[in-house]
A and B are shown apart, each in its own frame.
Chain A
Amino acid sequence: MAVEIQLQINGKSYQSKVEPRLLLVHYLRDTVGLTGTHIGCETSLCGACTVLLDGKAVKSCTVLAVQASGSEITTIEGLAATWKGNGNGSGAAHGGGGLHPVQEGFWECHGLQCGYCTPGMILSSVDLLRTNSDPSEAEIRQSISGNLCRCTGYQHIVQSVQYAAKKMRGRKR
């Protein structure tokens, strides 16, 4: 009953046989071992499991692994490599490479405390900046409203995204 799937994850090809009911988030975490994507609820509301699926932010707890077959996934571990000048990402995945401007913004502006919502928050922000290079505060708040954070009160997150937007505007890909 297992189904063959094939995905590109952070630039690498993966082929697996999976149970159809396997959620993408469990596939990424338990099968592939990319545990940077977190699980915070079962109702598609917290956003902790956000990854980029073909470049767009989605909640990987509400996608079956089989649905994602044939797609390209970027998780937090592979994000830095998508930013020009950061190499192929293998270094970043082991903590040795550079950072994506959004990651850098979160670090510079204290955009995280416990860090649990952070990967999802960062990837949603990346999706926002893909289509809006100079978002207003209100637009940032709207765009990350599919991601819950219980620690920061969001203010430093907003600043983190503003920091990243500025940096990315200054150095277009």
Chain B
Amino acid sequence: MIPSSFDYHAPKTLEEALRLLERHGDEAKLLAGGHSLLPLMKLRLASPRFVIDIGRLRGMSYVREEDGMIAIGALTTHAEVMASELLAQKCPLLSETAGEIGDVQVRNRGTIGGSLAHADPAADYPAAILALDAEIVAATSGGTRTIAAREFFVDMLTTQLRHGEILTQVRVPIQRGRTGAAYKKLYQPASGFAIVGVAARLSLGANGKVESAAIGVTGLGVKAYRAEAAEKTLVGKKPGEKEIANAAKLAPRGIEPLGDLHASEDYRREMAIVFTRRALEAAAARASGKAK
């Protein structure tokens, strides 16, 4: 219940935060909403010497249209993403996914940047971020770089972010044309995290056939991933019951599933198939205008 002692810094600017991060190296942890870090610290599974609270950085909480994409500030809470009118209209998959995270209180406090940087293998956002081909913007004192979502997740609790880098923004594309997307999740009954969570995005051509498919899967393996085999098999086909079911079967391909008290490896794999199918069905219905 009680974290170990640490030195606390609350920088007011990004530059200051980056300097502090550089100075303290891997003895420092960034704190945003605190909903990934503080639980670990309270159980003393994490005991950083320095905590750099970036929660006070100005201008890092926003959802806005920028250069034909939607840009979301790293400090935007799950509740803000969930309630964003702009996202609801132009990238509903992200707000739908945010609504599946934790509970009301967690969504009021947890941030998109914090969640992505923590890269919990059972977190919800990574599935959507992958399915959206989002871009993640990271800053260092030398400038910023943009990381493609597909490159971002490296391993269990590990991302492309380097020491000294701060995730500042997430950019997602505007949903256009006959596109539909959905996030479907089997939640772990105690923690509410995803046993598996699948975000699917389908774009249909005028002929009703799939032009592009993107499927992000979280919970199954050590990191969230794109189910590429499943995506490929759908392209050029009408997304009927059979086609979707066949594609879903390919969702766990190549992934070594995690197993725990709540779901064995086998069960998780099977659930990845079930929830991929459900996400694809919902996405297809939305893309074809049959469902909202």
Residues of chain A at the chain B interface (Cβ within 8 Å): 1, 3, 19-21, 23, 39, 42-45, 47, 50, 53, 56-59, 61-64, 66-67, 124, 127-128, 143, 145-147
Determine whether the beta carbon of B109 is less than 8 Å from that of A58. yes
Determine whether the beta carbon of B34 is less than 8 Å from that of A64. yes
Chain B residues in 8 Å Cβ range of A61: 1, 42
Determine whether the beta carbon of B5 is less than 8 Å from that of A21. yes
Chain A residues in 8 Å Cβ range of B51: 20
B104: Cβ under 8 A from any A Cβ = yes
Q: Tell me the smallest distance from the CB of B135 to a CB of chain A, in Å.
A: 28
Give the complex CA separation of A9 and B128 in angstroms: 38
Give the complex CA separation of A58 and B109 in angstroms: 7
Give the complex CA separation of A56 and B108 in angstroms: 7
Chain B residues in 8 Å Cβ range of A63: 34, 38, 109
Determine the residue in chain B with the shortest Cβ distance to A21.
B3
Residues of chain B at the chain A interface (Cβ within 8 Å): 1-8, 10, 31, 34-35, 38-39, 41-43, 51, 53, 55, 79, 102-106, 108-109, 190-192
Subset of 14 A-B contacts with CB under 8 Å: A20-B6, A20-B8, A21-B6, A23-B3, A42-B39, A44-B105, A44-B106, A45-B192, A53-B108, A58-B105, A64-B8, A67-B34, A128-B104, A146-B103
Give the complex CA separation of A43 and B191 in angstroms: 9
Determine whether the beta carbon of B105 is less than 8 Å from that of A57. yes
Determine whether the beta carbon of B1 is less than 8 Å from that of A39. yes
Chain B residues in 8 Å Cβ range of A147: 103
Chain B residues in 8 Å Cβ range of A47: 103, 105
